[in-house]
Amino acid sequence: MATTDQDIRWELGDLCADSDEARGRWNDFVERAQDIASRYRGRVAELDAGELRSLFDELDELEQGISRLEVYSYLRLSMAATDVDANDLATYTRERASDLENLLVFVGLEWIAIDDDRAEELLADDELAPYAHKLRVERLEKPYVLSEPEEQALNARRPVLQAWQSLHDRQVSTMEIPFDAGDGEGPTPHGVSQLVSYLYRPERELRLRAVDTLYEGLEPRADVLAASYDALVGDRLTTDKLRGFAHPMQPTNMSNELDDETVEAMLTVIEESYPIAQRWFRAKAKLLGLEKLALADQYAPIGDPRRFTWDEAVDLVDSSYTRFSPRLAEIFRECLGAGHVDVLPRQGKATGAYCAAVSKEILPYVLMNFTNRLRDVSTLAHEFGHATHNVLALEAQTWRSHRVGLSMAEVPSTFAQSIADDYLLENETDPGTRAALAADRLENAFAAIFRQTVLARFEQRAYEVRGDGRSLAAERLNELWWEENAKYYGDALEMPEGYHLGWSYIPHFIHFRFYTYAYSFAQLAALLLYRRYREEGEPFTPKYLEFLRAGGSASPADLVAPFGLDLRSTDTWREAFAELSELCDEAVTLSSESRR
Ligand SMILES: [Zn+2]
């Protein structure tokens, strides 16, 4: 279907007029930071609660000004990756931001240096209430911080670690594997993500060849990829010992504000629920007319969705939000009206989709690459789940306290997607579209919940092996990877031999250990909240809006407590799988219906 969609672009005027103005403002901010440093450096421990409050208020305002310039620069680059002015500004922005960080780093350091009794006394004062939670969290690191010379020595070897990381990244990003995409061009060089993109294609032969080609291409690089990982894991374990961490997952759990017990309860129940995925894999094999699903069939499309115009997508999100809470729909329309969404793909524009929060005064900006697909409608609902969260949290919280960690950040977006998906399923009559939607949402949930847990379990075992003094050679990693994946796929899906190397190109392992389980957490928490909404109906909504308004002013456990959810209990997590199991039934039913 031809689109009549007009080319709707961002209006950046709310942020900044041009790059000259941005540069000028950076200079003002650096001066202000110098002024703050001259008044407070070396004095944080002497301040009373009221004085600390003024300091944090001042920083809060400054940080929002900085955010405005950073977002401006980021959006400019997103619109035109090769624009010289945008690139110059991005470089300038990075440098000024790091100057500012250096000028103000003393605040955090002096704050955690204050002794515990005095800190508790200060935090009990109402003056500090708007910042209390974040200030408490900062202090949790205190027992693991070493002396200044020790920290400097640890910092000094950062370039070496970055060298291992960039070696790994380069090995993966420079891969050019000849592959015949069947487009009449013959074999042409393909990168990893290009090959992976064929897994979503309907032609089975293409999918199977793409998988084989990917792993054949990784094979000659496996040793170097393993050596990079081995070096980084070894270094992290050594540093953990110096700092006194109890286990390799602890730093990540701390940054997610989740205790070890919660994370383990969640991972255990996820593993116990692998059979739900296996049930879908068996049903999917039948739908595709196969005896057994192969790895290459995992994301093969189901159903045949119709196209959606931009106006239709906007109406769908608007109506589904309105049904849940008119306030969310109002924020959605305000952002559209203010020119804070950039809709169509263009040459040089960033791919994917995101939402960027700016400040208390300025509405967030959303990037889309809308191509009339069903998936784009869900993405629009998802990104505005972030945007509505930003707006409500910034209405109620300080800038510092509105921010949430990765595990919570994806909860409102996933929830908003469920609102829109359900609305669409209820109102859509085309069977192919209904089937595609149900299958997509299920497979996205599997990718977030199950696959990311397989990754986390693989990492745990790798750290264990390395901690026992054995090296992480490619063959050993192959084995660990295979075993953790075999638990997930069971006998419902055939893994090809080459898949032993599935660990080798995953950037999370290299850049941020145990990063992936936050995706599982967010998806499950959103499922739990959505189940409560379906059970409770309207009385749920005000509680949910309060949850959005709370932003990052409390720990994840406290944020979800008003919904009666206890994250340490395996029963809580099992409830999420009751919901997922229903989504699985729905996908099986709608997919079979669409084939009649
Ligand atoms: Zn998101």
Element (H, E) at 189: strand 187-190
* Residue (of 317, 314, 401, 394) closest to 362 by Cα position: 394
Helix (H, G, I), strand (E, B) or coil at 178: strand
**Which of the given ranges, 4-13, 151-160, 493-502, has the highest pLDDT on average?**
493-502
Q: How far is the CA of 410 from the centre of ligand 1 (A)?
A: 5
* Residue (of 421, 411, 427) closest to 443 by Cα position: 421
Q: What is the pTM of this model?
A: 0.93
Contact criterion met (CB below 8 Å) for 309 and 3: yes
**Which tens digits make up the pLDDT trace of 528-577?**
999 999 999 999 999 999 999 999 999 999 999 999 999 999 999 999 99
Looking at per-residue pLDDT, the higher value among 37 and 156 belongs to 37
Res 1: pLDDT: 40
Q: How far is the CA of 372 from the centre of ligand 1 (A)?
A: 20
Residues in Cβ contact with 68 at an 8 Å cutoff, skipping those fewer than 6 apart: 15, 16, 358, 359, 362
Segment 223-233 mean pLDDT:
98
Segment 434-449 mean pLDDT:
96
Q: How far is the CA of 130 from the centre of ligand 1 (A)?
A: 26
Q: How far is the CA of 365 from the centre of ligand 1 (A)?
A: 13
Helix (H, G, I), strand (E, B) or coil at 187: strand
Q: How far is the CA of 139 from the centre of ligand 1 (A)?
A: 28
Contact criterion met (CB below 8 Å) for 573 and 437: no
**Which tens digits make up the pLDDT trace of 269-278?**
999 999 999 9
Contact criterion met (CB below 8 Å) for 152 and 145: no
Mean predicted lDDT score pLDDT of the chain: 95
Q: How far is the CA of 87 from the centre of ligand 1 (A)?
A: 26
Residues in Cβ contact with 402 at an 8 Å cutoff, skipping those fewer than 6 apart: 357, 390, 393, 394, 396, 551, 552, 553
Report residue 425 as tokens: 């399923």
Q: How far is the CA of 354 from the centre of ligand 1 (A)?
A: 7
Segment 490-497 mean pLDDT:
98
Structural domains in the chain, sorted by start: 12-157 (1.20.140.70)
Q: How far is the CA of 416 from the centre of ligand 1 (A)?
A: 10
* Residue (of 505, 416, 407, 406) closest to 455 by Cα position: 505
Report residue 411 as tokens: 């909860």
Residue 441 CA to residue 282 CA, distance in Å, equals 17
Q: How far is the CA of 282 from the centre of ligand 1 (A)?
A: 30
Res 594: pLDDT: 86
* Strands (DSSP E) found in 471-519: 493-494
Res 156: pLDDT: 86
Q: How far is the CA of 356 from the centre of ligand 1 (A)?
A: 11
- Taking CA 494 as the corner, what is the angle to CA 488 and CA 499, rounded to the nearest 5 degrees? 80
User: Is residue 4 predicted with pLDDT exceeding 80?
Assistant: no
Report residue 86 as tokens: 């945008």
Q: How far is the CA of 383 from the centre of ligand 1 (A)?
A: 6
Residue 134 CA to residue 137 CA, distance in Å, equals 5
Q: How far is the CA of 255 from the centre of ligand 1 (A)?
A: 18
* Residue (of 457, 60, 56, 498) closest to 270 by Cα position: 457
